[in-house]
Chains A and B, each alone.
Chain A
Amino acid sequence: MSEPFVLEPAAFLDLWQEKLFLGQEFLTWLWIVSEINGNLLNIKPTASAGPSGENFPSAIELWFESRLTLEAGEGGHKKSVTCQTPGTEWDEAHTALRRGKKLTRGQLKIRAEDKEWGLSLSADTLVPQGVKFPKTFAAGEEEEDTEIGRFMERVALMSELVAIIAALYHQFLEVRLSSEWEMKELPRLNRWLEEQKQKINE
C-alpha cells in the first residue's frame, strides 16, 4: 500500500468535501455495472488486502436490493429521491439518473464464494454500515462459543468486506481517472440507462 496521505484537519475537511462526488459516482457506477453484468463482478486484491490477499476472491456477486437514495445539488438546493425496492420503484431511480442525480446511499448484498454480507453503503464514507455477517459454520459445526471468538471472527469478516469494497473502488478509480471514462465507460452506462427507458415504453 502507498503511504498514508496525511493532512492537517482543516485541509482534510476541505478535501473530503471537495471530492464527495467520487463516492457518489462510485456507488452509481457500481450499481449500474452490477446490473449490466448480471450481478457478477471480477475483482483483484489491492496491496492493502494484506494476508487475506492470498485467499481473495477473483469474482463476487453484488446487487443493490433496497433503499436507493439519489441526490443532486447542494445545501438548500439539494434534491433527493429514495426508492425502497426494485420493480417499478427502480424506474424512478433510472429517471433520477437521467436527470443528473447520483447514488448517495444504498442497501446491497455481496456474495464471495460461500459467504454473503448484507450492508448499507453511503457515498460520503464508503464504510459498510448495518452489516449482516455471513454464517461461517457448516450445519452440525459449533458456532464460536466465546465472546472473543465471535468478535475476532467478525473482525476477520469485516476486514474481508472492507478489502472487497476497496478493490471495487480501486477498479472504479482506474477507469474514472482515465480518458476511458468519457470515451467508453460513460457511453456504456448511458446505453444501459437508455435500454431501461425503452423497457418502460414497451
Chain B
Amino acid sequence: MTRYRVKEEPPETLTDEYISERLLKNSFIDIEDAPEEKSLGWVEFLDHLGTDFNPATYRFGGILVFTLRLDTRRLAAKTVARYYAISEVQYQQKTGRRPNSLAKKELKEAVKSQLMRRALLNTELMEAAWLFKENELWLAATGEKRRETFEELWGRTFGLSLQMLVPATLGLELLTGELRKALLDSKSSPIWLGR
C-alpha cells in the first residue's frame, strides 16, 4: 500500500455529480477487440467491468473507492519480424515485385494490427480509497512505475495533487514548532550503536 496526502483541500464543487462525471470522462475503455496496445482508466470498485459510476458504486460512508484498470498487450519483436517476413513473401507473390518503403510500412502496420488483436491482454488493477475527511488516499500498489501511472490518471481526473506519506513528511505532520524545525535540521545519528 502507498499512503498519500491530498495536497489541496477538495473544492466545494466536488459533489457526487462532479465526481461521477470526472470518473466517467476518464473511465476505462475495453480494447479486447481492438488493436490498441494499452488502455488506462477507472472502473468500479466492486465490478471491474463496470464504468457506470453512480455514487452507490464508489461512495461508502466517508470513503470514495474506485479502481484503476490498466490493460496492456506486448508483441515480441521476433514474432512481429516472423509474420512480417511471411507477409512480404505473400506481397511479392501477389504483385511480382518487392515492396517499396511505403508498402513495407503499410505491411508492417497491418501485421502488427492483426497480431495485436490476437495477443492476450494483461490486466492490472489498483484499488484507490480516498478517505475524504482525513484528506488521505490509500493506493493498493507500490513501486515507482505503478505510482506514476496512478498519479497521472488521478491528476487528470480530479486536478488535485498527491504527496506520498514517508517518514520525513509523516514526521513533519506529527510535529509542531521547535520539533518540526529539529526534524528538518536532523542528520543521521553520528553516534550509533556499538561505537
Which residues of A are at the interface with B, using a C-beta cutoff of 8 A?
1-7, 12, 15-16, 18-23, 25-26, 28, 46, 48, 50, 97-100, 102, 123-129, 147-148, 151-152, 155, 158-159, 162, 166, 169-170, 173-174, 176-178, 181-182, 186, 189-190, 193
Contact A4 B7 (CB under 8 A): yes
Contact A6 B193 (CB under 8 A): no
- B167 interface residue (CB < 8 Å to A): yes
Contact A173 B174 (CB under 8 A): yes
Q: What are 7 sample pairs from A and B whose C-beta atoms fall under 8 A apart?
A: A5-B169, A22-B167, A100-B194, A151-B60, A152-B63, A177-B186, A189-B193
Give which listed residue, A3, A6, A99, A125, contacts B194 with CB less than 8 A.
A99
Chain B residues near A159 (CB-CB < 8 A): 131
* Secondary structure of the A contact surface, majority rule: helix
C-alpha gap A20/B135 in the complex (Å): 24
- B96 interface residue (CB < 8 Å to A): no
Contact A125 B60 (CB under 8 A): no
Chain B residues near A5 (CB-CB < 8 A): 169, 172-173
Contact B61 A152 (CB under 8 A): yes
* A7 to B: closest C-beta gap in Å: 7
Q: How many residues of B contact A (CB 8 A)?
A: 44
A22 nearest CB neighbor, chain B only: B167
Chain B residues near A19 (CB-CB < 8 A): 167-168, 171, 183, 186
Chain A residues near B80 (CB-CB < 8 A): none
- B176 interface residue (CB < 8 Å to A): yes
**Considering the complex, which residues of chain B in the window 153-173 have a beta carbon less than 8 Å from any beta carbon of chain A?**
163-173
What total count of A-B pairs have CB within 8 Å? 137
Beyond the given A48-B174, A147-B46, A166-B170, could you list 13 further A-B residue pairs with CB under 8 A, ordered by the A residue number?
A: A2-B172, A12-B163, A15-B169, A16-B167, A124-B167, A125-B3, A126-B166, A126-B167, A148-B60, A162-B3, A169-B167, A170-B175, A189-B193
Which residues of B are at the interface with A, using a C-beta cutoff of 8 A?
1-3, 5, 7, 46, 60-61, 63, 65, 129, 131, 133-135, 138, 142, 163-176, 179-180, 182-183, 186-189, 191-195
Which interface residue of B163, B168, B176 has the most chain A CB atoms within 10 A?
A: B168
Contact B166 A124 (CB under 8 A): yes
Give which listed residue, A50, A102, A123, contacts B167 with CB less than 8 A.
A123
Contact B171 A186 (CB under 8 A): no
Chain A residues near B183 (CB-CB < 8 A): 19, 22, 173, 177
Give which listed residue, B164, B166, B182, contacts A177 with CB less than 8 A.
B182
Chain A residues near B195 (CB-CB < 8 A): 100
C-alpha gap A25/B193 in the complex (Å): 10
Contact B167 A26 (CB under 8 A): yes
C-alpha gap A170/B166 in the complex (Å): 13
Tell me whether A181 and B174 are in contact in the complex, defined as CB-CB below 8 angstroms, given that A12-B164, A100-B195 are known contacts: no
